[in-house]
Every structure is written in structure tokens, then in C-alpha cells.
Chain A
């Protein structure tokens, strides 16, 4: 029996090891060991006060920190029965899209692109394809600036608190950001063109696809959870009723199932479920690329991230227009501290993110529960690896490893989030 092991898979967030066991050309076992150390965030919030939770959970991730902060704020607000203003929601959505620009630019260009041009990292890519790397940096930089504009800094937002914001961007800064976003559209379209030009294997996942969805919005901040194949839609706050988490021996991250099946979350499931809600330009790009949706090909997650970049730029321009025209206040809504329980979800760049908290009557957290996108994806990723490995078992070792790594990277896993 021969074993192929890739320790500490490169160009993903966090540490994981791929192991493929083969017997005379037949694949007998495939797994991804998440060796990233356990972090116990669900217990770290216990005993801390409700208004410290978003500061703590934000530190789960350096990329999707706004999503962890906002999802915990939404859950705490549900527990305390706090209603936030429409203006607060608009600003929060901008914050989420800031992390989309940051995450998708980093994943596509720094983590994924080197695979498709046959380079070990982004640094030689900067030598051979400076235009591509400069474009990547423009997208990432705009993401940093958008997150900073609303949150006060590129990661771990300062201004987002229970009930609203402690400070708001000025109208002139919003106008400047609007211009920046408009000038970024060409870069995002070029990103979609580039990633659709990369050839991907013909492959279909056997798992379910789940994302937040809404009738009238591309749901990233609100919406019900929807399952593509089973066709159900359920309130995201009831996630414990439809997602089952289990500890598996080879991973410090738990695995999840819905209806007894592994499932995928992220850009591909979002576009599969909400392609009708894309902004006009993004819808145009989707149809021009000829990507048939719904698609069950996991490898399409990359190009869907690129389409979301197009959507995000156009959508944020619209949000900024709304903020500039509409009045209202994002100052924290008043509330009284009381005992309660609240659960909430948002769509982080890598997929649906769930948080839930129990609070006592002094406002101290007594229970915390978090399910990250990658924790949901890991079971499905492993199932995909198991199905995909035999189809490429004949390849020379190096090519086999690269193909397997491409599949892992297509999920854009964040193992640091997964072991939260």
C-alpha cells in the first residue's frame, strides 16, 4: 500500500494535512487532518460581558473578522431584543462586503492563481505577471479601505457595537469610496475573465449546497437558510435544528451535516441559490462566462468568488448612494440588559456563519456556539476528495498532489476558523 501525504497544505488559512492511501492504484482512504490547534472560542466568551463578545469573536479570523463581529452582534441583539436602524444595516453590509473584497482577492490571486500558472507562490507571479498582481492588490486595497472606512481599521472593526455604530464615515469619505468602487469594476470583471479562462476538471459534488437566500436581496446579512437540492428554506436562527455537528478523530474541527448529508457553503452555493438577485453587471458577467447555474462542480467556487467581486463593487456603490440620500442614524439603539438567548447568521466570504449566545440577567455570557463556514465544508471537502482521487490516481505523484490541492483550495478553507 502506498500513502501520499501533503503536510501543512500551503496557501490555505491554517494548518491541515492531506493523506491519500492507495493499494495497487486503487484509492482506499482519503482524509484531511486539521492539525491547527483547538482554540476554544465558544468557551472563551463564557464569563465575559455581552458587549465584549464581538471583540473576542472578531479574533477568530484575520480575514472575516467583520463577519464574526457582526454575526455575534446580531445574536446578542436577538438575545437582548435590540432593533437596529436601516442605516446600521446598510453600514454593516458595507463592512461585510469589505471583507468579501479582501478575502476573494487574497484567495483568488495569492492562494489559487499560482496553481493555474504553475508557480509555487504569488511572489514569482509578481515577476512574471506584474499586471495581474497589481490588479489583485488594487482589489485587496479597496477592501481594506472599505472596511476601514466603516469599521475604523482593516480588521477587527472598532465602531460596530451592540445596537449600531459608535462613529460613521463622513459624506465626503463615502463619495470618495464610491468613486474608488466604480473604478474597480473593470478589475473585478477582468478577475472573472481570468478565472473562467482557467481549466477545471469536470466534477460534481455528491453533497448538498446551503446558503442564506432572500426573495429580494443577495442575502449576505439577513435571509433564511436554503438547501439547493432538497429545496427547503428555514430560519437561520434555528440552525441547531437543521445542522448536525460531530467530532471526528482526525480533525480538531468538527464536521457538519444537513439531512444526514455533507454539504457545501460559500460563493458557489450562494450564486446557485441567488443568481437571480445578482446586480446587473454581475448577472451579465455570469451569463457571458457561460457558467450554467446551478452547478455542482466544486471547482467553480473560484469563478463564483470572482463574480461576487463584480457584484460587490456595484452593490456597494448602490448602498453608498442610499446612505448619502437617506437620513436616519446609526447611533446605538437603546436597550436594557436582560437574560436571554439569541442566534443569528450572516454570509461570510467563505460561507454561512452561525453564532448563538445565552446571556444571564447581569449581561454575562453563559453559553456560546459558533459554526464557521469551513467547519461546515470539511465533511463535504473530504467526500469530494474521496470521489475525485480515484479519477486522477494514474497521474504522476507531483501532478496528483497538485490536483488534490487545487480541490482543497477551491473551497478556500480557513482552518483557523474551523478550529475556533
Chain B
């Protein structure tokens, strides 16, 4: 086992399973990802940043270069090699995904076990609303409050809603999500349909970025 954060050793030459966290935010990251993909039998994208780009990908929603000026001004130049953050999944092919910010450790263990046993990916595909019903949560939309459970990939046990906070979409878009219908639900509940897309951008701003 090799874990860069905890060890003084160098990156290995090859991997049985490479677990990659984070969004790619520099050219060096892109190169490293491609190198790891070539030398790894299995790649797991771990966490929302690696899967959808997550919060860092918000940097791509406005003028990316203007952000540099906001933070560092126009004096000494730093942050060379920077690029609009993109998820690992848009740079290289990955074999398994563990979405969520933060991840659910039990889901990671399950995915890692499947990877080691050579089983297929078993990422949940349904939107979260169904879980909320089984958890007997009170629906935010019914109270006229925005919630992203309608379109977000399930698998978290509706944790946030169970703690009385609306879903913020950190597990990414459910492949079963019906966005036009979800926008109509917002309108029916007295919410601005555009608010659905605005809120969903928080963890999913890179969903249309393909490298």
C-alpha cells in the first residue's frame, strides 16, 4: 500500500488499484492522471471533486482568469500551470466512482471490495427522493423550500434531509433524473425553476465540461 499524504516514499511505478481524489486543477495533474491510468489496472475516482468536479469546478462558472486577479491582484505572478478545475472522470476513463462530499466510507469499502474481486460497478442510479420517503422525512418541496433530492443520485441515505437540511446535490446528477419535470415541480411549488439549476451548480458546475 502507498498513500502519498502519509509517507516519505515516492510514487510507485505501477498499481493494482489506484484511488484518486480531487479535481484536476493544473497541467501537472492532467499528466499525472494519464500516467497513473496507463500503469493502473483499476482506477477508482473517490469523492465528488474527482467524480463531478465538485466545489472547485465553480471556478469555471465565471471568467476563470478574472478569479486570479480577485485573489492575487496584478503584481507578482504565481499559480503557473493553473487551469479550470475538471473532474478526474473527464480526463481519464475510470472503472469505479464513489461520489459524495464527503464520501460514505461504507460505500468506499463496498466499491473497493468489488474492484478487488473484479465485480462490475454498482453505483446507485435513482434520484434521492425515494430514500427520503422510506426515511419518512418531511418533504422540503411540499413546504415550498428548494431541495435537490429530485435530481441527485441516491446512496447517502438522504443524510442531509434527515438532519432537516435540503439536499444540495453533492452526489451528482442521477442518470434517471428528469430535469424538465423537476423544473416543473419547482414551478408548481411556487419556486423559480431556474433556482434548481443554480443550486445544482454548487457541486456540479463542470457537468457539461468535457476535456
- Residues in A lying within 8 Å of B, measured CB to CB: 8, 10-11, 13, 37-40, 42-44, 46-48, 52, 55-56, 59, 62, 110-111, 114, 120-123, 152-156, 158-159, 161, 166-167, 247-249, 251-252, 254
Given contacts A10-B7, A10-B8, 7 further A-B contacts (CB under 8 A): A40-B67, A40-B70, A42-B70, A43-B71, A52-B202, A121-B6, A167-B164
Q: A38-B68, A39-B25, A43-B70 are known contacts. Are A159 and B78 too (CB-CB below 8 A)?
A: no
Report B's interface with A, CB cutoff 8 A.
1, 3-9, 25-26, 29, 54-56, 58-59, 61-62, 66-68, 70-73, 75-79, 81-82, 101-102, 159-160, 163-165, 168, 202
* Contact across chains for A59 and B101 when beta carbons are under 8 A apart: yes
Given B3, B26, B66, B75, which contacts A247 in the complex, CB threshold below 8 Å? B75
Q: A40-B67, A249-B76 are in contact. Are A11 and B8 (CB under 8 A)?
A: yes
- What separation, in Å, do the CA atoms of A40 and B26 have in the docked complex? 13
Q: Is there contact, CB below 8 Å, between A44 and B58?
A: yes
B76 neighbours in A (Cβ, 8 Å): 247-249
The residues of A that contact B163 with a CB separation of less than 8 Å are 152, 158-159, 166-167
- Judged by DSSP, the binding face of A is loop
Indicate whether A11 sits within 8 Å of B6 (C-beta atoms), given known contacts A123-B1, A247-B73.
yes
Among all A-B residue pairs, the 7 with the closest Cβ atoms: A38-B79, A166-B164, A43-B67, A10-B8, A121-B7, A43-B70, A37-B25
Chain B residue nearest to A45 (CB atoms) is B58
Interface contacts (Cβ under 8 Å), in number, total 116
Measured CB to CB, the closest approach of chain B to A332, in angstroms, equals 10
User: Which residues of the partner chain B approach A156 to less than 8 Å between Cβ atoms?
Assistant: 101-102
Known contacts being A159-B163, A248-B76, is A11 close to B68, with CB within 8 Å?
no
Min Cβ gap B58→A in Å is 5
Asked if B59 and A40 sit within 8 Å, CB to CB, the answer is yes
CB pair B160–A158 under 8 Å, yes or no, is yes
Closest to A42 in B: B71
Taken together as a complex, chains A and B put the C-alpha atoms of A8 and B71 apart, in Å, by: 24
Nearest Cβ distance between residue B202 and chain A, in whole angstroms? 6
> What are 24 inter-chain pairs, A to B, with CB distance below 8 A?
A8-B4, A10-B9, A37-B79, A37-B81, A37-B82, A38-B78, A38-B82, A39-B25, A40-B68, A42-B70, A43-B59, A43-B62, A44-B58, A120-B9, A121-B6, A121-B8, A122-B6, A123-B1, A123-B6, A153-B159, A156-B101, A166-B163, A247-B75, A248-B76
